[in-house]
Amino acid sequence: MQHRNLGGMFDVSAIGLGCMSLSGAYGGALDVDGAADLLRAAYDRGITFFDTAEVYGPFLNEIQVGKGLGALRDKVTVATKFGFNITDPKNPVSNGFDSRPEHIREVVDASLERLGFDHIDLLYQHRPDPAVPIEDVAGTVGDLIREGKVLAFGLSESDAPTIRRAHAVQKVTALQSEYSLWTRDIEAEILPTLRELGIGLVPFSPLGRGFLTGQLALDTIEQGDFRYKLARFQNEAAAKNQRLVENIKRIAAAKGITAAQLALAWVLHQGDDIVPIPGTKNVGRIEENVAAADVTLTPAELAEIADAVPAEDVVGGRYWS
């Protein structure tokens, strides 16, 4: 597996693993031992960058990650997140955000206990909290860095002005945002801001929550699956978006690779400061994704892909509209 430098701070595998699905976001959760086996299999195949959060499960995901990677602690980089007011485990984001300094500290201590680690490598604010100035958030994480509980500060789904304000208080190492062939909103303003400031990009859902693989059977998505109500997966929208996926499959077949590998390779080719974190519960998919790091796309192929999947042709919003 090739490695990349993330935000001037971490040497990580060019492709990481998003762990959200392990605790049931896309259907049934793996038990702790099953998740641990999968995480170690990912490491054995070259992945050294893993992404979790307290809200995944909630709480279960960090336990899974800690169990799976504890023995590999000095060989892997693990990111987790704070920022939600989790009072209802069955609907953990229903009570909105909470990035108050005292809550950040509570979450970090609880996350360290669940993970079984003595520090967090990369700590993200999961979503901006309109009730708390970003300067207070950055300052609190800065204090945690000085105390040794955290190594680096990250943001998730923040806009360019917020990134700049945070970075002025505490260096931001990475921004996590959705980025793929069918979600390219960050290209106009956010990606240039990251590059100006030396901040790495960690794209989540680089395979469009599985849609861009061309292997997702929409009629098998159940109500417990996070994608069940997402706009892009609904009826007419899904049918129109499937035409774009067929274009990806056609180009991939001509190159002798899978649609997933083409889509991931496209993301990787957008810059060596980008480390995507596709998620899966399947070792075979991990192997397929890892192989995408070795795919080379020529300028002509990149142009062909862009023409075949125009961002403006994607139907439906990223979430429920």
Lowest-pLDDT choice from 49-53, 143-147, 165-169, 239-243: 239-243
For the chain, what percent of residues have pLDDT higher than 70?
Answer: 100
| 178 domain residue, yes or no | yes
pLDDT tens digits, residue range 19-37? 999 999 998 999 999 999 9
| 113 domain residue, yes or no | yes
pLDDT tens digits, residue range 81-108? 999 999 998 899 999 999 999 999 999 9
Write down the pLDDT at residue 262. Answer: 98
Domain count, the chain: 1
User: Does residue 290 have a pLDDT over 70?
Assistant: yes
| 49 domain residue, yes or no | yes
| 116 domain residue, yes or no | yes
User: Does residue 312 have a pLDDT over 90?
Assistant: yes
Instruction: Show the tokens assigned to 170.
Output: 């505490």
Q: What is the DSSP string of 37-75?
A: HHHHHHHHTT--EEE--TTTTTTHHHHHHHHHHGGGGGG
User: Does residue 319 have a pLDDT over 90?
Assistant: no
| 232 domain residue, yes or no | no
Contact of 248 with 309, CB cutoff 8 Å: yes
Secondary structure letter of residue 94 according to DSSP: T
User: Does residue 216 have a pLDDT over 90?
Assistant: no
Q: Give me the chain's average pLDDT, please.
A: 96
- Going by pLDDT thresholds of 50, 70 and 90, the confidence category of residue 212 is very high
**pTM score of the predicted model:** 0.96
Domain interval for residue 86 = 3-208+260-295
pLDDT tens digits, residue range 172-183? 999 999 999 999
Write down the pLDDT at residue 321. Answer: 60
How confident is the model over 294-299, as a mean pLDDT? 98
Catalogue the active-site residues.
56
Identify the residue whose tokens are 């774009």.
Answer: 244
| 319 domain residue, yes or no | no
Write down the pLDDT at residue 228. Answer: 74
- Going by pLDDT thresholds of 50, 70 and 90, the confidence category of residue 298 is very high
- Mapped onto helix, strand or coil, the DSSP state of residue 258 is coil
> Which residue type, as a one-letter code, is found at position 122?
L
Write down the pLDDT at residue 83. Answer: 98
Q: What is the DSSP string of 193-252?
A: HHHHHT-EEEEE-TTGGGGGGT---GGG--TTBGGGG-GGGSHHHHHHHHHHHHHHHHHH
32: domain CATH number?
3.20.20.100
Write down the pLDDT at residue 202. Answer: 99
User: Does residue 218 have a pLDDT over 80?
Assistant: no
User: Does residue 224 have a pLDDT over 80?
Assistant: no
251 by Cβ neighbours in 10 Å (0-12 / 13-18 / 19+) ranks as: buried
Alpha carbon 156 to its chain's center:
9
| 10 domain residue, yes or no | yes
| 304 domain residue, yes or no | no
